[in-house]
Every structure is written in structure tokens, then in C-alpha cells.
Amino acid sequence: MKDLFSIDLKQYQIVDWGYTDSTEPKTYNYYQAWITSGYQGSLNYLADERGEKRASLTQFWPSSQSALVFLFDYAKQKFAIENFIKNHPDWNQKKIAGYVFANDGYDYHYLLSEYLNEIGSNIVKTLKTNIPDLEYKLAIDVHPVLDRDLAFRSGLGWFGKNSMHISRHHGSFHLIGSLIFNHKLKLDNSSLETDHCGQCTRCIDACPTLAISDQRTIMANRCISTFTIESFKESDPPAGYDQSSPWIFGCDICQDVCPWNKRIFKKVLPNHLQIAEQSKSLINEFLLIPLADVFKRLSLESNGSYKKKYAKTSFERLGKKGMLKNIQFMLKKMAS
């Protein structure tokens, strides 16, 4: 991996980085058409004024002139945990999206922000002599920035047919985090990556709810991840979910079948990675006991207790009610 101002990026699980001084996304018109078609579904935060801000980095921060974009890997954690669960005699045959276990089981929003601030502060300090007024703002997926487009124009990968950002060297099991600067840096703009999906349609064919169109478009209301992560109260699941693999939180189907991720899996040694205590706790509580027992435990738990127990994990935002909704649906499916 390339060095950046003598910062050891591996300590942050960064597997690649790129640079661009292009402040306008190349796919904003496509994004607007997606919104106009209503494909964002219930994800209203993508269509309000925050959608308009995504038209340019300067809409997010008027001083924007360039950006460093980083890929934070979680493929190794995902594959190690997946291998552990599948070989465990008590596995209840349920699944949780791999990103939940990124950053040792803690919500990546907290840690990515911490990492980016450390890197940004280091860069500002290093370049202070040459650029005394250098400032930065960080951007992750909660900010009104088209982060996958930013990674694309930073030369880090391309848009897969499932709309995920895919790296030729690292697949798609990574998170994107960026530092936006008020100056152009003395770095070369990265060339755009070629689309390497070719004629492959495995992600489209594998999606049980038909959420992926042949136009590299996700219809959010058909997506299992939308139903299991973004729907906080009882609602109808997307058609086809009852015939799908039993995902109780998130979904990795379209990424699991991707040849670029299968190549990554062959390179890692999942058995050799230590599983963090927080990840073990989540695994034990949701995947290594009967689902009916999980439902009973959560039902008896107060909302306050749930929030405290799962604070700073990916389960915190969904809340007790949302998690019970997911599990109850799965139990009904199993009983039918």
C-alpha cells in the first residue's frame, strides 16, 4: 500500500487511498434520476435538501478544493467470523451483515470518524509550514456526500452492478471515509478505474427480492437491508424475502456472490484472525442460541437496557422494536 505523509495507514485497517481535486461527482445526474424515480423508497433523507447538497463538495463545505479517500477493510473480519459461525455446532442458521463486525463489532461511524480525525490532524501538522491555513472536514456515509462517487473519481474502484463500490484489489467489503481539504494538495489526481464487471450478472440473479435492476440501480424498498436496518417499526417485508436466506440484520447476498469478493476470500486465512470480544458477544447473543430464545430475551429487556447494552454497535440505531420486528418475522416464516 502507498504511504501517505509517513502515516502508518495499516493501523486503521486502510487498504488503499486515492486523491482527487474534482469537487463535483460524475454521477449526480444519475442520482437525481434515481430520486425522481422514487427508488430511494422510505430513505427520505436521501431526497430532501441533503440530496441537493450532494451535487458538489462545495455544497457540503464551501471551502472544498480536494479530497483524500480511504478504503477501510473489513473483509478479513467478515470471513473469519463467517467461518467461525458456520463451523459452530450451536449456529442457529441465521445471518448478520458482515459490516456489523467491522472495527471489532463497534459501529463504524464512531471509529472511522476517530481515525479520519487522527489522520487529518497529522496531515495538517505535517503540511503546516507550506500550507499554514490548511483545514479539513471528514466525510463518511452520514454526510451529504456521494461517497462512492468520490471513491470512484479518486481511482479506487468502480460501481458494481449492485451499485456497490468495488476495488480490483480489495473487493467490496470495505467502508469509505474521506478527508476534504480547503487547498489542493501536491498529489497527482488518480486515473479512473475501468469497469470490470463485464457480462457478469451474479449479483442481479442472486437477489431474491429483485432489488437490483440491470441499470446498476437499487430499488431500496425491495432491498432486504432496507427492511432489516432502516425500518424501525413493523412493516411489510419486500416480496421474495420469505424465500431468501435468513438475514435478521442487513444482507450480503449480492456481495457474497461477487467474483471479486470470492477472489479476496481465497487470499485470506480466516481461522488465523482473532475475533474481538464485542463481536463474540453479538455472535453469542444472536447467532448461537435458538431464535425463539433471542426473541424472548429481547422482549423481556427494557428499551433503556437495550440501548445501553448495544450502545456504539450497529444494533443501537435500529432499537429494540426494530430488532424484534426482524426476528418476529423470521419466527413466523419458520412456523409456516
Residues acting as catalytic residues: 141
Under 8 Å between Cβ of 35 and 43:
no
Burial of 58 (0-12, 13-18, 19+ CB in 10 A): middle
Residue indicated by cell numbers 448461537: 288
Residue indicated by cell numbers 478504503: 71
The CA-atom distances, in angstroms, between 20 and each of 68, 81, 119 are 7, 35, 17
Using alpha carbons only, give the angle 131, 111, 125 rounded to the nearest 5 degrees.
15
Q: Which residues contact 229 (CB under 8 A, 6 or more apart)?
A: 97, 249, 250, 317, 318
Q: Which residues contact 19 (CB under 8 A, 6 or more apart)?
A: 66, 67, 68, 69, 154, 185, 187, 188, 189, 190
Using alpha carbons only, give the angle 163, 249, 17 rounded to the nearest 5 degrees.
45
Under 8 Å between Cβ of 91 and 288:
yes
Under 8 Å between Cβ of 76 and 270:
yes
The Cα–Cα gap between 336 and 252 comes to 25
Return the axis-axis angle of helices 291-300 and 277-286, rounded to nearest 10°: 100
